[in-house]
Structures are given as structure tokens and as C-alpha cells.
């Protein structure tokens, strides 16, 4: 504690120096990633002390000396919350660049940072950097069970809000509820619940912050009929080239994924025999289907701003060849059962009637 206080006093005098024009920067940093804060100064080739501080807390982020800085005593000091997360590049400092690397960005790192340098001939506020923390709305999930739709998104900063809309627009009062939870890492998870009263509408959920928003739209469920030989399930087309495609079976079983236009699809092992092809628009063609493949197929088509979700219930009708084959097998099974049943009945009947063979004796003639 004494070393930290000594270092803080040693560097604090630099606050009285005003920043030079053109030395203010805004840097956008993403949660959990690295962030680079620029700072340039005039290096005299002898020695310099560099200090980075956070203005709103007066915390010293890092304070280090480089070269022959015997005119400034003391050791490297920093607030505990930055321990192990900062770095100044020695070779860059000798070129007049006191660039700060800040690792594992957290929401509380947002704010104003000051880079101050002190050499034997000069003391200067070399840069003021405004850090804006960003944890964008990367994905919005929509799921419908009966007349309930759930919308959710996770890992967002700053605190988001959730809104509902319909297509076509409707004057009805949407019955919804929203909950927000903050994680231990100070990120936000949001979840909305909507009671659906009109199944002919498409429902959109938008999750937004001050700097970013994303929307997901759930179209009304449709039904199609396909054969066991082949079935093609359509996917709602987007106005812009899709950057992502996901097909699911019965809402939770992944069939395939595609990360962008022109990129080959990654098909799950369980569905490789059934997936025949996927069109550019996202339509899925399946083959060699059985009754077990009858159910709800979900297409999630995404671009940079929204996700379009289509649910299609697939009914499977057997083709004539398949039906004949199955019918023939069933016919032989029925015949076998009937023969077995007749045999059992005959055996039981004989047991009750004592059906053992009898022989009529021919009377002898007197000789």
C-alpha cells in the first residue's frame, strides 16, 4: 500500500498540465477482448516516466519509468483492478509511443483515460482517450410453444430493452412481459414473453441498446406434405444476402449450419443420409425419410441486422413403391400370424377332445 501511495503522489503533479489540441481519441472496446489506447509524445532519448490514469476514479492504471529516468524515483505502480491486465511496450516508448494495451476488457473499464509523460525537460498530457465498452446484440432467439412466444438474448452491454411488433401492423394490445438479469461479469441477459392471439400474424422481437440493435421475426407456421423418397422445405427469403443459416428439427436438433453466402453447409452426423441439398436461398431438400422424420423444421436465416425464422410442419406420405413393399411385408406377417393361430387352436381342440387316433377291430370269423 505504501508503494502505491508513493507512486500515486509522485505522478499526481502531472494533472495540472492541459492536453494539447488533437490528442483526444475515442476507442470502442469489446467485452473480454484486448483494447489499445494510443499515446504519442516527444522522447528526448534520455528517460521518461509514463502514467496512464482513469479520470473519473483517479485510479492509476500503470505508472512506469523508461531509460535513464533517475530524476524520477519510484517503482511501477497500478490500481489492483488493473493488475495483470496492462502492458506498455518498451521498444515503442523509445520511439515516442506510450501505447497502452488493456486486456480482458470489463464494463467498468468504460470511461476517460489520460496518458501523461514526464521527462527531464518536459511534462505533458500526451493523450486523452475515451473508452466506449461494447457488447453487441449478436443473436436474438425466438421460440413459440402453442400460443406463447419467448424472445431472449444474452451477454449485452449496456443494459438493453426489448420491444414487440407484428406484420402486418396490428392495433391489438400485445400482452408481454420482460425480465432483465445482470451477470457476475456485469453483462445483461434479457428475456421477453408474449401471448399470441392471432396466428395469422408474423411477430418480431427487437433487442436494442444505445449503440446497437437486432431483430428476429417469427413467421406463422405452415404445413407441407412430402414423400419418403424426397421432400423440399422452403425458407423465407431475406432482402439482403444471408450471412448465416441454421436448420433445426423439432426446435432443438441441429440439422445443418452455414456461416455465409457461398460457404458450404456443415451437416450434423445424424442427418447426413437425409440431407440431399441446400439452395442459396436456404431451402432444404431431404431424402430417404421415415415416419420418424415427420415433425417441425425450423429455418433461421440471418443477415447483419435481423434473423428470419420459419417453422414448417412436414407430413410424410409413402410413395407407391414403398407402400407396396411395406404392404407385401405386412401381408406375409398377417398370413404367418393366422397360420400360427390356427395351429394353436387345433392343438387346444385336440387336447380337449382327446383326439388320439383309434383303430376299429375287425371281428374274426370262425374257422
Domain segments of the chain as ranges: 2-134, 137-208
The partner residues of 258 in beta bridges, in order of sequence, read: 245
Position of cell 414448417? Answer: 312
CA-based nearest residue to 18, from 128, 97, 120, 129: 128
**223 within 8 A of 312, measured Cβ to Cβ:** yes
Low-confidence ranges of the chain (pLDDT < 50): 1-10, 12-17, 74-75, 320, 322-324, 326, 358-362, 366-367
Long-range CB contacts (< 8 A, 24+ apart) of 268-277? 276/230
- Size of the chain in residues: 367
What pLDDT is stored for residue 305 in this prediction?
A: 87
Q: What is the DSSP string of 51-87?
A: EEEETTTTEEEEEEEEES-TTS----B--GGGTTSEE
Question: Which one is the CATH code of 2-134: 3.40.50.12140, 3.30.540.10, 2.60.40.10, 3.40.50.2300?
Answer: 2.60.40.10
C-alpha cell at 49: 516516466
pLDDT attached to residue 17: 45
Phi, psi torsion values for 102, nearest 5 degrees: -115, 120
- Residues 345, 335: contact at Cβ < 8 Å? no
| Nearest C-alpha neighbor of 128 from the set 18, 250, 224 | 18
pLDDT tens per residue across span 318-332: 754 544 454 556 667
Domains 2-134 and 137-208 in one fold: yes
Model confidence pTM above 0.85:
no
Can you give the pLDDT at residue 197? Answer: 83
Nearest-CA neighbor of 93 among 34, 155, 142, 44?
A: 44
pLDDT of residue 66: 81
Please provide the CATH number assigned to the domain covering 137-208. 2.60.40.10
What pLDDT is attached to residue 42?
86
- Other residues' Cβ atoms within 10 Å of the Cβ of residue 123: 14
How far apart are alpha carbons 234 and 74 in whole angstroms? Answer: 70
User: CB atoms < 10 A from the CB of 361, how many?
Assistant: 6
Strand partners, 250: none
Estimate to the nearest angstrom the gap between the alpha carbon of 30 and the chain centroid: 16
Closest CA to 149 of 220, 209, 212: 220
Give the residue from 281, 144, 280 showing the smallest Cα distance to 204: 144
Amino acid at each position: 500500500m505504501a508503494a502505491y501511495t508513493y507512486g500515486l503522489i509522485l505522478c499526481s503533479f502531472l494533472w495540472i498540465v492541459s492536453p494539447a489540441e488533437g490528442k483526444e481519441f475515442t476507442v470502442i472496446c469489446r467485452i473480454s477482448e484486448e483494447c489499445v489506447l494510443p499515446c504519442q509524445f516527444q522522447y528526448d532519448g534520455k528517460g521518461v516516466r509514463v502514467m496512464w490514469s482513469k479520470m473519473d476514479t483517479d485510479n492509476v492504471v500503470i505508472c512506469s519509468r523508461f531509460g535513464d529516468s533517475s530524476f524520477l524515483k519510484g517503482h511501477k505502480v497500478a490500481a489492483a483492478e488493473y493488475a495483470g491486465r496492462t502492458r506498455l511496450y518498451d521498444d515503442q516508448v523509445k520511439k515516442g509511443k506510450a501505447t497502452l494495451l488493456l486486456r480482458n476488457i470489463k464494463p467498468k473499464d468504460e470511461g476517460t483515460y489520460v496518458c501523461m509523460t514526464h521527462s527531464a525537460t518536459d511534462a505533458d498530457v500526451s493523450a486523452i482517450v475515451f473508452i466506449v465498452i461494447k457488447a453487441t446484440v449478436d443473436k436474438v432467439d425466438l421460440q413459440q410453444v402453442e400460443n406463447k412466444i419467448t424472445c431472449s438474448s444474452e451477454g449485452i452491454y449496456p443494459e438493453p430493452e426489448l420491444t414487440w411488433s407484428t406484420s402486418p401492423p396490428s392495433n391489438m394490445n400485445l400482452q408481454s412481459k420482460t425480465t432483465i438479469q445482470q451477470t457476475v461479469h456485469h453483462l445483461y441477459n434479457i428475456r421477453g414473453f408474449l401471448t399470441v392471439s392471432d396466428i395469422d400474424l408474423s411477430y418480431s422481437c427487437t433487442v436494442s441498446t444505445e449503440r446497437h440493435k437486432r431483430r428476429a421475426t417469427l413467421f406463422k407456421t405452415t404445413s407441407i406434405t412430402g414423400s419418403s423418397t424426397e421432400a423440399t422445405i422452403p425458407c423465407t427469403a431475406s432482402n439482403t444476402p444471408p450471412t448465416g443459416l441454421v436448420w433445426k428439427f423439432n426446435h432443438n436438433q441441429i440439422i445443418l449450419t452455414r456461416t455465409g453466402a457461398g460457404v458450404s453447409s456443415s451437416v450434423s452426423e445424424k442427418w447426413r443420409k437425409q440431407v440431399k441439398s441446400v439452395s442459396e436461398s436456404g431451402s432444404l431438400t431431404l431424402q430417404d425419410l421415415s415416419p420418424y422424420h415427420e415433425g417441425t423444421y425450423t429455418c433461421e436465416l440471418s443477415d447483419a441486422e435481423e434473423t428470419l425464422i420459419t417453422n414448417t410442419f412436414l407430413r410424410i406420405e409413402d410413395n407407391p413403391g414403398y407402400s407396396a413393399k411395406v404392404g407385401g411385408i405386412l401381408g406375409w406377417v398377417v398370413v404367418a400370424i393366422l397360420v400360427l393361430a390356427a395351429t394353436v387352436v387345433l392343438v387346444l381342440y385336440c387336447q380337449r377332445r382327446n383326439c388320439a387316433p383309434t383303430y376299429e377291430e375287425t371281428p374274426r370269423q370262425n374257422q
